[in-house]
């Protein structure tokens, strides 16, 4: 069973779609006068329905999770052109992603912002941790740039999708995917990327503060107050910021007075 949330589009269906993704929708379909989001978490679906004054219902198959395929396009982000396997390559560095039933086709602004920052920080041979990896978009992008990558997600579907996508992109030898709770995993990485909603940032940040991690790219946050909340939660300072519409992403460093030991 999967939970579906149906919300009237109003004047801005893209805004409704973004809000559904904030609550954890793994698939979106925009119809004539409604936006339908597919959820694997019933509680998240109910919360989204309440927040957006929508209708929540369940389906017995994965139809809703597959609807996005009919609307997929090539997305340019940083040096990359992200596409599903059935579309032709774009003009950028080819990044082929099929999320399956995991989260992350690469089309969301938070992913695009994280890719922009990541492309400027990854160098061949560094270690990168992609936390809350979903389909592995960010980790696989880092591997394409020469990094050795570990991805972490609590959803078993995410691990399957990540390994399949790593193979599609010819970087299976540089990507390790594990299924674990972000708040429990032990890590050591030169660069970490965390594209999750603000509540998850605040949940896992205390654990990450004790880990031997280099800079952290944080995304999935709304511009404004959530940027400050995120930096505070991680006990770091923003060294770089990029934004797109209502979304922001930051590179967080420990700052001159924090040794990281």
Closest CA to 192 of 208, 206, 170, 178: 208
Residue 55 phi, psi dihedral angles, 5° rounding: -115, 130
User: Does residue 61 fall inside a structural domain?
Assistant: yes
Please give the tally of structural domains in the chain: 2
Which string of DSSP letters, residue by residue, matches 127-170?
EEEEET-TTTHHHHHHHHTT-EEEEEES-HHHHHHHHHHHHHTT
The angle formed by the CA atoms of residues 127, 96 and 160, to the nearest 5 degrees, is: 70
Identify whether 81 is part of a domain: no
Q: Encoding tokens for residue 18?
A: 């973004």
Range of the domain at 192: 102-253
Q: What is the domain-level CATH number for residue 43?
A: 3.30.70.980
Q: Identify whether residues 115 and 219 lie together within a single domain.
A: yes
Residues 116 and 196 in one domain: yes
Give pTM, 2 decimals.
Answer: 0.75
Q: Confirm if 55 and 49 have CB atoms less than 8 A apart.
A: yes
Are residue 193 and residue 149 in the same domain, yes or no? Answer: yes
Domain presence at residue 75: no
Rounded to whole angstroms, the Cα distance separating 225 from 185 reads: 28
- 76 lies in some domain: no
On whether both 25 and 134 belong to a single domain, the answer is: no
40 and 119 part of one domain: no
* pLDDT of the chain, 261 residues: tens digit per residue: 567 899 998 878 878 888 887 887 767 777 778 888 877 677 778 888 998 999 998 776 555 555 555 556 788 988 999 988 888 888 999 999 886 654 556 677 888 999 999 999 999 999 999 999 988 999 999 999 999 999 999 888 889 889 999 999 999 999 999 999 887 888 899 999 999 889 889 999 999 998 999 999 999 898 999 999 999 999 999 999 999 888 899 999 987 655 444
Query: Do 38 and 166 fall into the same domain?
Result: no
Question: Do 161 and 51 reside in the same domain of the chain?
Answer: no
Report the CATH number that the domain containing residue 231 is assigned in CATH.
3.40.50.150
């Amino acid at each position: 069973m999967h939970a579906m949330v149906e919300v009237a589009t109003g004047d801005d269906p893209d805004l409704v779609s973004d809000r559904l993704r904030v609550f954890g929708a793994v698939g979106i379909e925009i119809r004539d006068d409604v936006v339908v989001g597919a959820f694997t978490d019933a509680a998240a679906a109910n919360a989204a329905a309440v927040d957006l004054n929508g209708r929540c219902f369940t389906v017995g198959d994965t139809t809703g999770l597959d609807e996005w395929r009919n609307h997929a396009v090539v997305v340019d982000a940083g040096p990359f052109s992200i596409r599903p396997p059935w579309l032709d390559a774009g003009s950028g560095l080819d990044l082929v992603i099929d999320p399956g039933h995991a989260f992350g086709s690469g089309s969301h602004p938070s992913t695009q912002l994280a890719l922009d920052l990541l492309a400027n920080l990854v160098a061949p041979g560094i270690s990168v941790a992609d936390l809350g990896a979903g389909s592995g978009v960010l980790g696989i992008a880092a591997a394409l740039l020469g990094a050795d990558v570990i991805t972490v997600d609590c959803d078993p579907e995410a691990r399957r999708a990540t390994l399949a996508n790593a193979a599609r992109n010819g970087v299976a030898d540089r990507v390790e995917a594990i299924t674990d709770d972000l708040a429990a995993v032990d890590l050591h990485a030169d660069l970490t990327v965390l594209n999750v909603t603000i509540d998850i940032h605040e949940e896992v940040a205390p654990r990450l503060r004790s880990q031997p991690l280099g800079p952290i790219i944080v995304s999935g946050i709304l511009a404004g107050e959530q940027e400050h909340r995120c930096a505070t939660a991680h006990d770091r300072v923003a060294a770089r910021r990029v934004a797109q519409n209502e979304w922001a992403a930051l590179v967080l460093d420990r700052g001159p007075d924090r040794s990281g030991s």
